């Protein structure tokens, strides 16, 4: 009867070693897959305004920097583990006070922090700046709806709960928003603009939008404000400037007509 071949010496050790390598590789791969990150957005979208694109590019820079720093750190840790792993009971040769290396790993992180701070400061200044513009919209939030007033034309758009009022604005134009609240704290949020700001009673929050694409963009209240908070929606419609001016002119005529009818009714009642 033939004698069964024996496995080569050292095979169990190699098998155990490969199992450990596979497990070690599976952990970071599983974390990467489960994180749901996408490239090149790293989980964020560019949005449809100039300010949202600036924030998006800042986020990209932060994410790429984090990947580079994390990769270098991980590589150094793996190198130290493999290169200086225990090979016996003897204490390995000790190294310390390597001045050039200590200067490098102290100065480089400081420079990275300064760079991130400077980039953030530039983008934040763009986000909070209010450049001069002729288009002004007063936005008032209330339980549970929105009111959009265009002071230059006396145009008014009003809607509550399921009425989904529409805020019209011109594309590729700076639009100044004055945001207030009548009663409680509300949240003014436009998903495709990557923008959210509190609407506070007694406080006027000012900011500027510059939509870069025409279209209809969904908005909602993001601050729990009472019973019908979940129905407090609105839409932002970005139009070409000529269409926006035509719409504004039509709204102005409607406002003038309503004012004339109101004045006529008041005169009739007074005469009676």
Residues 118 and 140 in one domain: no
Residues 236 and 139 in one domain: yes
69 located within any domain: yes
Please state the rounded mean pLDDT for residues 235-253.
90
pLDDT for the residue 169: 93
Residues 205 and 226 in one domain: yes
pLDDT for the residue 264: 56
Query: Which residues are within 8 A (CB) of 135 and not within 5 positions of it... i.e. 6 or more apart?
Result: 169, 170, 173, 174, 175, 176
Q: How many CA atoms lie within 13 A of 65 on its CB side?
A: 16
pLDDT for the residue 99: 86
Report in angstroms the alpha-carbon separations of 42 from 26, 37, 124, 249. Answer: 21, 5, 20, 43
Residues 253 and 142 in one domain: yes
Q: Give the rounded percent of residues in the chain with a pLDDT score beyond 70.
A: 88
Angle between helices 50-83 and 99-128 (to 10 degrees): 160
95 located within any domain: no
Q: How many domains does the chain have?
A: 2
Residues 120 and 42 in one domain: yes
Please state the rounded mean pLDDT for residues 215-230.
93
60 located within any domain: yes
Instruction: Tell me: pLDDT of 9 over 60.
Output: no
Residues 70 and 142 in one domain: no
Residues 159 and 198 in one domain: yes
pLDDT for the residue 170: 94
Residues 60 and 109 in one domain: yes
Are 146 and 232 within 8 A, CB to CB?
Answer: yes
Are 167 and 244 within 8 A, CB to CB?
Answer: no
10 located within any domain: no
Lowest mean pLDDT among 83-87, 129-133, 254-258: 254-258
Instruction: Tell me: pLDDT of 259 over 70.
Output: no
Structural domain of residue 115, as residue ranges?
A: 21-83+100-128
Are 47 and 192 within 8 A, CB to CB?
Answer: yes
150-178 pLDDT per residue, tens: 987 778 888 888 888 999 999 999 999 99
pLDDT band at 144 (very low <50, low <70, confident <90, very high): very high
Residues 123 and 36 in one domain: yes
Are 123 and 58 within 8 A, CB to CB?
Answer: yes
User: Average per-residue pLDDT in the chain?
Assistant: 84
88 located within any domain: no
HEC letters along 12-23: HHHHHHHHHHHH
Instruction: Tell me: pLDDT of 179 over 90.
Output: yes
Residues 108 and 25 in one domain: yes
Q: Name the residue with higher pLDDT: 179 or 79.
A: 179
13 located within any domain: no
Tell me the CATH number at 174: 2.60.40.420
44 located within any domain: yes
10-64 pLDDT per residue, tens: 556 677 777 777 777 777 777 767 766 677 777 778 788 888 888 899 999 998 8
Residues 199 and 118 in one domain: no
262 located within any domain: no
Please state the rounded mean pLDDT for residues 77-93.
81
Residues 63 and 152 in one domain: no
């Amino acid at each position: 009867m033939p004698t069964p071949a024996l496995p080569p010496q050292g095979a169990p050790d190699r098998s155990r070693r490969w199992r450990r390598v596979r497990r070690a590789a599976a952990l970071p791969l599983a974390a990467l897959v489960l994180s749901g990150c996408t490239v090149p957005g790293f989980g964020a979208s560019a949005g449809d305004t100039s300010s949202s694109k600036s924030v998006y590019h800042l986020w990209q820079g932060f994410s790429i920097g984090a990947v580079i720093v994390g990769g270098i750190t991980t590589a150094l840790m793996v190198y130290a583990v493999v290169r200086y792993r225990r090979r016996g009971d003897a204490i390995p040769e000790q190294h310390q006070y390597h001045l050039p290396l200590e200067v490098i790993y102290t100065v480089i992180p400081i420079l990275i922090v300064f760079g991130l701070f400077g980039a953030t400061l530039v983008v934040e200044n763009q986000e909070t700046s209010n450049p001069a513009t002729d288009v002004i919209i007063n936005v008032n939030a209330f339980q549970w709806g929105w009111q959009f007033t265009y002071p230059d034309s006396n145009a008014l758009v009003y809607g509550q709960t399921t009425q989904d009022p529409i805020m019209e604005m011109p594309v590729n134009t700076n639009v100044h928003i004055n945001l207030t609240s009548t009663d409680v704290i509300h949240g003014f949020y436009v998903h495709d603009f990557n923008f959210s700001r509190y609407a506070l009673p007694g406080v006027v929050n000012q900011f500027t939008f510059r939509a870069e694409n025409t279209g209809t963009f969904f908005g909602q209240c993001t601050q729990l404000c009472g019973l019908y908070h979940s129905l407090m929606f609105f839409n932002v419609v970005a139009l070409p400037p000529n269409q926006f001016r035509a719409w504004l002119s039509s709204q102005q005529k409607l406002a003038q007509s309503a004012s004339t009818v109101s004045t006529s009714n008041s005169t009739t009642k007074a005469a009676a």
